[in-house]
Amino acid sequence: MENSDSSRSDCPYELWDEETVYSGPWITAKQVQFRLNGTNSQGVWQSAHRASKPFTKNADGVDIVAVLKKGGKKYFVLVKQYRIPSRTWMIEFPAGLVDTSDADVEACGLRELKEETGYSATKVLGLSSGKQILDVGMGDDSVRFLTVEIDGDAEENKSPKQELTDDEHIQVLTVECDKLLEFLDQVNKSDDTEVEAILYTFALGYSFKTRFGL
């Protein structure tokens, strides 16, 4: 029986009998018994985790929000790749896993942007602190968001060349910033391509005032 995780005084649940019910090379499944403090409401919570990942403070990955300025216009740089877990093509932010030895998340993000899209960021605008959780009900997989600007008129970005590994097949898309939400709404209606949720909500936020006047 392990219940150290519920010893934090602010946890509203009593947690006990945590166990790893599946341990594979990439995925671990865990379960724990839970009871909301002060109630008799009890249950089992199962969750999925990246293998060999402890409950850590570090993010698993970094997603890059990249604005390409080129010829007086602004574009978001996105990627399209086939995703095996959902068996569909997916429109996503460029992204990569952060190696546990890779303390410099910003450098990791810039390298992933260059490898996946061929573009070199000209300016780093921001990096989210901490980590943001991708699927809060099912797991603890997490990312940080690196926001960058790319000068598309600079020599190094005139003919961007991807640097993909043998098993990657990533397509690069550039979408005019003000047309991003409209573009993704069309993708959502298509049969063979989906949109990752973090990209969709980014687009929804970006065009929120324009679309809803709010």
CB of 155 to a copy of itself, least distance (A): 22
Look up residue 41 and give its amino acid.
S
Nearest Cα neighbor of 77 from 63, 87, 58, 62 is 63
One residue of 103, 107, 124, 138 binding a copy of itself per CB under 8 A? 138
**Rounded to whole angstroms, how far apart are CA atoms 55 and 12?**
18
One residue of 112, 114, 116, 140 binding a copy of itself per CB under 8 A? 140
CB of 160 to a copy of itself, least distance (A): 19
Within 8 A by CB and 6+ apart from 183, the residues are: 175
User: Where in 52-91 is the site for a copy of itself (CB under 8 A)?
Assistant: 55, 61, 65, 67, 74, 82-87, 89-90
- What is the β-pairing status of strands 88-92 and 132-133? unpaired
Tokens of residue 176, six digits: 């005019």
Name the segment binding a copy of itself (CB under 8 A); options: 105-113, 114-122, 153-161, 188-196: 188-196
User: Where in 105-134 is the site for a copy of itself (CB under 8 A)?
Assistant: 125-126, 128-134
User: Where in 147-176 is the site for a copy of itself (CB under 8 A)?
Assistant: 147, 149, 165-169
Nearest Cα neighbor of 145 from 63, 89, 51, 48 is 63
Name the segment binding a copy of itself (CB under 8 A); options: 98-106, 107-115, 135-143, 151-159: 135-143
Nearest Cα neighbor of 146 from 119, 115, 183, 108 is 108
Classify residue 62 as exposed, middle or buried by CB count within 10 Å of its CB (0-12, 13-18, 19+).
Answer: buried
183 binds a copy of itself (CB under 8 A): no
CB of 94 to a copy of itself, least distance (A): 12
Name the segment binding a copy of itself (CB under 8 A); options: 44-52, 99-107, 109-117, 151-159: 44-52
